[in-house]
Amino acid sequence: MKLQPDPLSALNTVTRIEDSYIEINTVRYESSILVMPEGAITPWNITNFNLLERSHFELITELRPELVILGSGLKHRFVSPNLMQDLYKAKIGFEAMTTQAACRTYNILMGEGRLVLGAFLIETTPVVAN
């Protein structure tokens, strides 16, 4: 699904999202990434939602966003509060939704000038039922 006709200036804009990849400013990413409006796209070493650990959120906290939008893959899933302790301590807002919804929400918030971080999960290992 194409999301934006053209990138918004020099900002990191999601331009397309499919089940197996995300495009940021028309550059294709086939694995999970962390994206903020400005700066480099950061690889996020997670291949399956069920493998999330506290260390994945420690990395996000170090980037100091105002708000985190987690794309949890093809399904909307909730993250254990135990994993997000560092975000809570740093007073960083958090929302989880499907990766497609997270990409749309990231673009809206980024366009409003918010310091949002998109944590977009592209699952590359089989999903195990919870």
| Residue range 14-61, pLDDT digits in tens | 999 999 999 999 999 999 999 999 999 999 999 999 999 999 999 999
> What is the CATH number for 109?
3.40.1230.10
Nearest one of 63, 58, 47, 62 to 121, comparing CA atoms = 47
* Position 35 in a domain: yes
Q: Is residue 81 part of a domain?
A: yes
Residue 128 has pLDDT above 90, yes or no: no
What does pTM read for this prediction? 0.88
* Spatial CA neighbour of 127 closest among 34, 23, 46: 46
User: How many domains are there within the chain?
Assistant: 1
| Residue 67 belongs to a domain | yes
Q: Which domain does 104 fall in, by range?
A: 30-120
